[in-house]
A and B are shown apart, each in its own frame.
Chain A
Amino acid sequence: MRFMMVVIRKGYETATADAAPGAEAVARMMEYNKSLQKAGVLLGLDGLFPPSTGACVSYVDGTATVTDRPFAEAKEAIGGYWIIQVRSREEALEWARRAPMANNEIIEVRQIYERADFSIVVRKEAVQKAAEGFEELSNAAAAKA
């Protein structure tokens, strides 16, 4: 089973682009990452720049609108994630418990869909349907041309 542990950081929404954690926090995080690695459970990890360097694209009635961050009303934002492979939800929670987080920070633990979770038959049907749809589209485009 794979899980994503998503770090939700207080005050990160409004952090400046060059905001960086202190050396001590970094060292503790490295130590934690190493323990995940040594246990053979770590598949991947990344830290994210503050939201101010990104933007939101929202979709309403088929129209995509870009909104710059930060949002005034938001207090916390995703700061990064780990992907781990463990044997149970409880193991994932136990690893999350051990993360060196700052006061009031949150780790959201979410299971990742495995390929085996989708029935292959369902998948095939969906792909086939999508392909048929595509064919109709291109036929329509050809008819127009």
Chain B
Amino acid sequence: MSDTHKAIEAVWKIESTRLIAGIARVTRDIGIAEELAQDALVAALERWPDEGIPEKPAAWLMTAAKRRAIDALRRGRMLELKHGEIARELEFQQQRLGEAMDEALDQVIDDDVLRLIFTACHPVLAVEGRVALTLRLACGLTTAEIARSFLVPAKTLGQRIFRAKKTLSEAHVPFETPRGDDLRKRVESVLSVVYLIFNEGYTATSGEEWMRATLCVEAVRLGRRLAKLLPEEAEVYGLLALMELQASRAAARRGPNGEAVLLPEQDRSLWDYEQIQRGMAALDRAQKLGGGANSYTLQAAIAACHARANTAAETDWERIVLLYDALLQISPSPIVALNRAVAVGMAQGPAAGLHALDALAAETALANYHLLPSVRGDLLVKLGRYAEAREELQRALAMTDNAREQDLLSKKLKQAMFID
């Protein structure tokens, strides 16, 4: 790729979201808006290499998109209608479209970007469609890039995006910012999409890890963007805090051979303390906005307890237990309960942890979840009940296919044998 092409690509990555959002204000259809924006990009690729990158590339792209929109209108109308008496009507339409585009060009307002994100995450879409559209429209990733990061063929992903756009169009989803009660639910949908993208990158254990790791960066960036667009929404800051705090540990999560390193064993000097500070600031903001009891904010507060501890031993486990209690209140889930039991074991001793775990034994959702026997095994080791511990660890080992998890469990099993 030539330098100019790389520069055009950079301009596109920076501008595409605002460009599509501005056009969508006029077309009310994000599928059409994206096509027109793509046309404008093609025009840029044709002309900028010779003419140089314009002083105001965003305005140039918007003007080009407007021209394409008028062309498309003319072509469409020409097919449908004969000439003559219709010409004046057509001219009027073109003029109106042109004016609307000019206005959109003058000021792509932040609300347009917000509407675009809300539309891409609309509940009428399947979750995978929401994720793909968001990465494409709100992050400016290409279909190929998204496909690579989700380890699916580009063709599959292209179809996914095509279907999502079609669904939006057929359902006549309005290009608008939801209000009132609806807003809360729609914000939730957006945040869950962002967190899903983050986790897809964060938990990457296979494939092109580097590409998948960029999903984390994209999600955090989107989180920062949303925080500017919805400055009064506590949970936006809660999620941003959670992502920043989790991402701050990225460098410490893998050992020299790529093996997983769990939180207590992590080399804390590898944590990104600037990122932790950003996470803490976002958490503070979420709490000040009254979001202290919300799900993402509570999870962020738990992550913050770990971030504040200089060594694993200094972790404020009692506070973490309280935060898990609060989290269980608002979103009861066996996984949260399991994590709480681990925290109880740390705060009040292994016997108390085991007791908390016993309450989960009947949980069908955890019946095949390797972490349940794995955690039991850990606690039993601490209590010196090695024979039982080995049994649990062996059960855990049989339940997971993940090679890294298996390594970790085998190691624990060996230790349990050795101590005994």
Contact = CB atoms under 8 A, between A and B. Distances in A.
Q: Do A and B come from one complex?
A: yes
Interface in A73-94: 85, 87-88, 90-91, 93-94
A88 B6 CA distance: 9
Interface residues on A, range: 20 to 34
Interface stretch (A20-28, A32-40, A130-138): A32-40
Contact of A38 (B7, B228, B274): B228
B256 A39 contact: no
Given A85-B221, A88-B10, A91-B10, A115 B214 contact: no
A120 B270 contact: yes
A119 B386 CA distance: 38
B10 A115 contact: no
Contacts of A41: 221
Contact of A115 (B13, B222, B228, B251): B251
B74 interface: no
Contact of A94 (B14, B110, B228): B14
A44 B217 CA distance: 16
B229 to A, nearest CB: 8
Contact of B278 (A38, A43, A91, A121): A43
A94 B11 contact: yes
B186 interface: no
B405 interface: no
A91 B13 contact: yes
A95 interface: yes
B7 A93 contact: yes
B256 A120 contact: yes
Given A91-B10, A93-B10, A115-B270, A40 B278 contact: no
Interface residues on B, range: 20 to 34
Contacts of A121: 256
B276 to A, nearest CB: 13
Contacts of A91: 10, 13-14
A87 B11 CA distance: 12
B268 to A, nearest CB: 12
A39 B225 contact: yes
B391 interface: no
A40 B243 CA distance: 14
Given A115-B272, A116-B251, A90 B222 contact: no
Interface string A103-122: 00000000000011001110
Nearest to B1: A90
Interface string B200-231: 00000000000000100100111111001100
B240 to A, nearest CB: 10
Nearest to A120: B256
B272 A95 contact: no
Nearest to A44: B274
Contacts of A129: none
A44 B230 CA distance: 20
B9 interface: yes
B255 interface: yes
Nearest to B254: A120
A40 B222 contact: yes
A44 B274 CA distance: 10
A43 B229 CA distance: 17
Interface in B106-128: 110
Contact of B7 (A90, A116, A120): A90
Nearest to A95: B14
A87 B12 CA distance: 12
A95 B274 CA distance: 22
Given A87-B214, A115-B251, A43 B14 contact: no
Nearest to A88: B10
30 contacts: A37-B228, A38-B225, A38-B228, A39-B14, A39-B221, A40-B221, A40-B222, A40-B224, A40-B225, A41-B221, A43-B278, A85-B217, A85-B221, A87-B13, A88-B6, A88-B10, A88-B13, A90-B9, A90-B10, A93-B7, A94-B11, A95-B14, A115-B250, A115-B270, A115-B272, A116-B251, A119-B256, A120-B254, A120-B255, A124-B256
Interface of B: 6-7, 9-11, 13-14, 110, 214, 217, 220-225, 228-229, 250-251, 254-256, 270, 272, 274, 278
The 3 nearest A-B residue pairs measured at CB? A90-B10, A40-B224, A40-B221
Given A39-B225, A90-B10, A116-B250, 11 more contacts: A37-B224, A38-B229, A40-B223, A40-B228, A41-B221, A43-B274, A87-B214, A94-B7, A115-B272, A116-B251, A120-B270
